[in-house]
Structure 1
Amino acid sequence: MKNKALILCILGAGIMLYAGFQMLSTRYHERVTLNHIQSSLTQSKTKNVTLGSYAPKKGDGFAMLTIPKLKKVLPIVEGANPDDLAKGVGHVAGTSFPAMHDQIVLSGHRDTVFRHVGELKKGDSLIVKLDYGEFKYIIQRMKIVSSEDTSIIHSTKPHEELVLTTCYPFSYIGNAPKRYIIYAIPDQE
């Protein structure tokens, strides 16, 4: 009986150490990516970026997402596979970019970059900054869908829409069965 308890304690400690390492590793990669993006945006003021040809390379950090209510500045990386999401918020390939008048979809892990997005409310702002400008969006609504529901990703042309997606429930352990979706539109100020 004592051996079983000891094994369970060691196993539990090992799982906690692994989870801690994963979290620290993700934060490190987020910081490195964010520093690279900030440096690139500072240098890009002299670049001539055209919307029609804008196409960041897969896996590259290219923008920043600021969530003022949460006091967060997060790197945005092209792509949404596990390697991309380890660096920050992932831009879902095939969706649009700011000022292109279509749907922009950003995805992130609920336990890292989007840890507190459940605290956001209608009317809160989101800011995307990239080479060709800074764009402010106002949250309009939230919704919870099944993890298999891909209908949230679609063209909204000519209306621009920023969509944030993360797993739900927020405190779920393992692969969550649902997705939490936040919809925002450009600020008209």
Structure 2
Amino acid sequence: MSDQDTEGRAGFLARLNALETVVLAGILLVALAGVMLVGKGFYMKAKAEVSQVLLKRSFAAQLHGETNAKPWPWADFSTEAEITALRIGKTAVVLSGASGEALAFGPARLANTPAPGEPGTSVIAAHRDTHFRWLKDVKQGDLLVITRKDGTNLTFRAGTSRIARWDESGINADAPGRNLALATCWPFDATEQGPLRYIVNAELVDDAGPSTLAAQDMSGKLPVKSF
């Protein structure tokens, strides 16, 4: 074999080794990206589960009289109630103020609406793909139990559900009676945020049966923003 052939073979092997190195590096990068994505998935799941434990612990502390209990020191919200849909067996801790941080961790009461059980319409909102994923399963007549942080237990009976624009919700926070509105984005299977909201109306039930409520004034327009 001539020197020229030897040099050509060596050059070919060098190029082959370089190509193999590039391919191997690409495979390693893809594998690393996969590991990172899986790791992120586990991290997000673990974060969600830990946060729910902390929220429940904070709410339990409030039930025992700790007025300044927060789930974690830097939280810009506090826990104020717990909602349970009896028939479908779903429970969630309700947070104060529907800020972006609060809605990331659970349902939140809109700050400009009364507390559940107080005169008017209390509005609780949550994301459709997480904490209010079950809202579509609530049927007319279902009982919704709310435990407030002062230990008061309130039972609401679900009424009609409807779909409305966020800025034309028809919810009047000052409506007669003691009402509850649960709101989330619609449609439930959408991948992007849209202008429509799914709203379940409910009214307070007393020991003697359904409370007698005046017809709700639907002229008010309480915006129900991003969930």
TM-score range relative to shorter protein = 0.7 to 0.9
- Stretches of structure 1 lacking an aligned partner (at least 5 in a row): 1-5, 48-56
TM-score, scaled to structure 2? 0.65
**2:61 paired with 1:39:** yes
Deviations 1:117-176 (A, max 9, x none): 11110000111101141000000110011233243243113x111000001111110213
- Match of residue 73, structure 1, among 83, 91, 100: 91
After superposition, give the CA deviation of every residue in 1:43-62 in whole Å (9 maximum; x if it has no partner): 13x99xxxxxxxxx960012
Match of 1:147 in 2: 166
Secondary structure in 2 aligned to 1:139?
strand
Q: TM-score, normalised by structure 1?
A: 0.77
> Is contact 1:138–1:186 with CA below 8 Å preserved after alignment?
yes
Q: Is the 8 A contact 1:26 1:112 kept in 2?
A: no
Q: Pick from 120, 125, 130: which aligns with 1:102?
A: 120
CA deviation after TM superposition for structure 1 residue 98, in Å: 2.8
Tell me whether 60-69 or 136-145 shows the greater mean CA deviation.
60-69
Q: CA deviation at 1:187?
A: 1.2
Aligned equivalents of 1:91, 1:174: Cα separation in 2? 23
SS of equivalent to 1:38: helix
Distance in 2, Cα, partners of 1:14 & 1:165: 35
Match of 2:100 in 1: 82
Q: C-alpha separation between the residues in 2 aligned to 1:182 and 1:84?
A: 21
Length, aligned pairs only? 173
Specify the alignment match of 1:163 in structure 2: 181
| Unpaired runs of at least 5, structure 2 | 1-26, 68-74, 210-227
What amino acid maps onto 1:103 in structure 2? T
1:52 corresponding residue in structure 2: none
Over 3 Å counting, the alpha-carbon distance change for 1:111 and 1:27 in structure 2 is: farther
1:183 aligned partner, one-letter code: N
TM superposition shift of 1:179: 0.7
Q: Does the CA contact (< 8 Å) of 1:75 and 1:87 recur in 2?
A: no
2:140 is aligned to 122
Q: 1:28 aligns with which of 50, 59, 63?
A: 50
Q: Specify the SS of the correspondent of 1:117.
A: helix
Structure 2 CA distance, aligned partners of 1:176 and 1:27?
28
User: What displacement does 1:14 show?
Assistant: 7.3
SS of 2:87 mapped into structure 1: helix
RMSD: 3.0
Seen in structure 2, the aligned counterparts of structure 1 residues 117 and 14 have a Cα distance that, compared at 3 Å, is farther
SS of the counterpart of 2:60?
A: helix
Equivalent position of 2:157 in the other structure? 138
Task: Tell me which structure has the larger Cα radius of gyration.
Answer: 2
Q: Answer whether contact 2:98 2:109 (CA < 8 A) is retained.
A: yes
Separation (CA, whole Å) in 2 of partners of 1:21 and 1:170: 25
